[in-house]
Amino acid sequence: SQTIHQWPATLVQPVGSPLSLECTVEGTSNPNLYWYRQAAGRGLQLLFYSVGIGQISSEVPQNLSASRPQDRQFILSYKKLLLSDSGFYLCAWSVMTEAFFGQGTRLTVV
Amino acid sequence: DQQVKQNSPSLSVQEGRISILNCDYTNSMFDYFLWYKKYPAEGPTFLISISSIKDKNEDGRFTVFLNKSAKHLSLHIVPSQPGDSAVYFCAASTRGGADGLTFGKGTHLIIQP
């Protein structure tokens, strides 16, 4: 069966520090991968999606980037965190008519 | 510009009754709609979906209705159970599947005993 791993579950980071969140998928090949963010009082917002290794599409102009170094690995990176980057980050993968989410990372920037 | 709107931030329903969660959309190119349920500090879990060629899809206690002319869909939960208390997200796609979903802000459903 397919599973998606996302870590860490919670993170507290100072303003201005860099950050990387990692997501890996098992049990499938060449999945479409996504990073979403849920900020307080807002819905889930698509940040990046990838249809293959090295292929990244950005949905929002932000101080962050994403990379897909391997087929089943998707990384979200910040160079310098802002207070407004606090939120709940979700990795997801999709096939046909379903999307599956990781457990999420709660990021608090202080 | 919010393309998928869930205008009720919260909804309180008595256990055993029907819960109806509503969702409106503005993009007429959306052709696939999904509902997700989310508990605090967890990722959303898929509940039910519907293609734009249908107007109803049913799965156990969950039924989704789609009114394309009104650009409106709703999720019915019958009967409501305490475990249904969660945030429900409506999502839509223009690609016929679950690619690049656009989500609403969610509705917090509270089932009262």
The least confident of A57-61, A63-67, A90-94, B77-81 is A57-61
Under DSSP, the state recorded for A71 is T
The CATH number linked to A60 is 2.60.40.10
pLDDT average, residue stretch B63-67? 94
The answer as to whether A22 is a domain residue is yes
Give domain status of residue A87, yes or no. yes
Cβ-contact A92, A41 below 8 angstroms:
no
CB of A49 within 8 Å of any CB in chain B?
yes
Contact A90, A39 (CB under 8 A): no
> Which two tokens mark A58?
């950005």
3-state secondary structure of B82: helix
Q: In whole angstroms, give the CA distance from residue B112 to residue B103.
A: 26
pLDDT at position A97 is 66
Please tell me the total count of domains within chain A. Answer: 1
Distance of CA A27 to the CA centre of its chain: 19
Q: Which pLDDT tens digit goes with each residue over A33-78?
A: 999 998 766 778 889 989 889 988 887 767 899 999 999 999 999 9
Q: What is the CATH number of the domain that holds B39?
A: 2.60.40.10
Digit-coded pLDDT (tens) for A30-41 = 888 999 998 766
Instruction: Check residue A84 and report its DSSP letter.
Output: G
Residue A11, phi then psi, degrees to nearest 5: -155, 135
Does A40 fall in a domain? yes
Does residue A110 lie in a domain region? no
Domain containing A92 equals: 3-102
Q: For the CA atoms of B77, B1, B38, A48, what is the dihedral angle to 10 degrees?
A: 140
Number of structural domains found in chain B: 1
Within a domain: residue A107?
Answer: no
Taking the Cβ of residue B34 and every Cβ of chain A, the question of whether any pair is shorter than 8 Å is answered with yes
Residues of A numbered 72-91 whose beta carbons fall under 8 angstroms of chain B's beta carbons: which are they? 88, 90
Domain assignment present for A109 = no
